[in-house]
Amino acid sequence: MFTSVKAFEGQQYSTLKRQCLQSGLLFEDPRFPATDDTLFHQGNRIGRVVWKRPRELCEDPHLFVDGISAHDLHQGQLGNCWFVAACSSLASRESLWQKVIPDWKEQEWDTEKPDSYAGIFHFRFWRFGEWVDVVIDDRLPTVDNQLVYCHSNDSNEFWSALVEKAYAKVYGCYEALDGGNTADALVDFTGGVSEPVDLLEGQMATDEVARNQLFERVLKVHNRDGLISCSIRATTVEDMEARLDCGLVKGHAYAVTDVRKVRLGHGLLAFFKSEKLHMIRMRNPWGEKEWSGPWSDSSEEWNKVSKSEREKLGVTVQDDGEFWMTFDDFCQYFTDLILCRLINTSYLSIHKTWEEEVMRGSWVHRQDPLRNRSGGCINHKATFLQNPQYVFDVKKVEDEVLICLQQKEKRATPKEGKGENLAIGFDIHRVELNRKYRMHSAQQKVAGSIYINSRCVFLRKELKEGRYVIIPTTFDPGQQGDFLLRVFTDVPSDCKELTLDEPPQTCWTGMCGYPQLVTQVHVLNAEGLQGQDSNGDPYVIITCEGERVRSPVHKDTRCPNFDIKGLFYRKKPKEGIHIEIYNKNMIVDTFLGQVILFSDPNERQEQHTLHLRDKGSRQDNDLPGTLTVRLVTSTTLTNI
């Protein structure tokens, strides 16, 4: 994961620390100075701030006191519960926080080697497809000798305050963290993919089957070291941070710190009894104000669980902000869930391995329609297909595909008036099996994301074998920005950008000819095929001027719905297009019949239902079975 780490703003931690140790001076970061500009967009809002180093706040500072945990974090005078909740989740994953806090033992204050302290620290975040190493000094903002922002339970523990400062540096100032999306922070800490789940839309409170399926997904993400957050949606300004009678807070991000199936009963009965509760544990970043309903810290429900089980779950009766709920109650009260899954791409893992394709692109507005790459969403039919286009293949009969579109962060430049994200999204179209030039007319749309002005949009979709084109767009045409497209499939998808509008002219064009006609061949279905078996395994091959397109095999049918397309740029329009049908056999495939089509260049669309014919005899003989084919033909090569 860290084969390549980029120094943020060109600041190399090791070089800067060595210079400080040689000079005997503590590091003062010129890129993030101890001034009000580092704190605020538009002037001081909290009074006189004094910047102090940890040794000015306590005698024995440490990064960690008794290890690292979710209880180390308390939100300060900043509306960044989204960030603190993400940090709480991070703290529960040693393998993850050690990547965000690299060389933590070397960075720790060493009482035996006081001369190794240089007032400099560094942290790592995943930003727009790459890990960046962020250097900071350890001067922290205080009022009345107390830390203004994120702090720990222990007055001499500083990891949370220092991570927050490094994150604020990436965003430009502390105030830029006021209000945000937990999903963004989870991705920044892991390089994973965040999937939002709308519990209301999914009717999780009332649909028991859907709720149980969701719990298994949440449990799997948790068990595979993913990070999870949740919240109760606030629909009005008055609702923001309003406390419900049950103790939960609206418009507030919670960290999910554990997910379990809890065994009920005591002693041997607990082992033989099959009843288990689906349970989820959360933490309020405020470090207080917990759930007060069933299974809260001191509720009588815990008497149903053995003492050893309670100890294993870490049940404590104190107002520390952390509490358990049943998943049923969770779905009753919470409205939004964020699953940040770590996409496993290691072939050495025992878990599912994904194939990842990463594409970088830009929405660029130009006047020339063939060069414009900012066409807006599908509502803008005249310009939609002018957006960037990316083709990929699904090579299994059916495959689960994960797609994440991320725009380049704009919150990091609020002082330039560019703090708002664009509303972005994408559509997926099923295209011809041999599509290699840009789409110029709409094809079959099979899926699409929501459009939202968040940094990332995500879609999980089961797709059938075939070729697809992803069209990432802004909601409105003419908007410009950079984006990162990530595609995850079970087998390599060969994802790449479609850049050419039509076959290029070469030095051989004059001698070999240039396409005069483009024809889309759509084989819809076949009926009554007569094979060796009552139900065969047919497939179809389309051949035109030496280029072949082969469909997937359709199992156990005499009436396959092929629904495949091929696209052919034709230099010899008078030559026929051959469509052959075979039955898949273990040794030699059986020929079932063919048709030869001659398209009419003057006919834009035409559909044929044809009898299959033999190809072995001198005179074609009709065979049992028919084939339905649709042709779309154009003499303008950029019309399909």
Residues 193, 402 contacting (CB under 8 angstroms): yes
Residues 423, 536 contacting (CB under 8 angstroms): no
**Which residues are bridge partners to 475 per DSSP?**
none
Active site residue 81: yes
* Matching residue, tokens 């100032």: 173
Rounded CA-CA distance 629/561 in Å is: 11
**Which residues are bridge partners to 425 per DSSP?**
473
**Full DSSP string of 228-272:** EEEE----STTTTTPBPTTS-BTT-EEEEEEEEEEEPBSHHHHHH
Residue 564 CA from chain centroid, whole number: 29
The number of C-alpha atoms within 13 Å of 512 and in the hemisphere containing its C-beta is: 9
The one catalytic residue in 81, 87, 331, 544 is 81
The secondary element (H helix, E strand) that includes residue 355 is strand 355-363
Rounded CA-CA distance 321/323 in Å is: 7
Angle at 229 between CA 223 and CA 233, to 5 degrees: 145
Rounded CA-CA distance 299/295 in Å is: 6
Active site residue 252: yes
- At residue 314, φ and ψ (nearest 5 deg) are 70, 35
Dihedral sign for Cα atoms in the order 78, 79, 85, 87: negative
The one catalytic residue in 80, 181, 284, 387 is 284
Residue of 173, 165, 170 whose CA lies nearest to 184: 170
**Which residues are bridge partners to 50 per DSSP?**
142
Residue of 357, 359, 638, 573 whose CA lies nearest to 484: 359
Residue of 424, 80, 447 whose CA lies nearest to 252: 80
Active site residue 379: no
In total, the chain counts a number of residues equal to 640
The one catalytic residue in 122, 252, 440, 554 is 252
Active site residues: 81, 252, 284
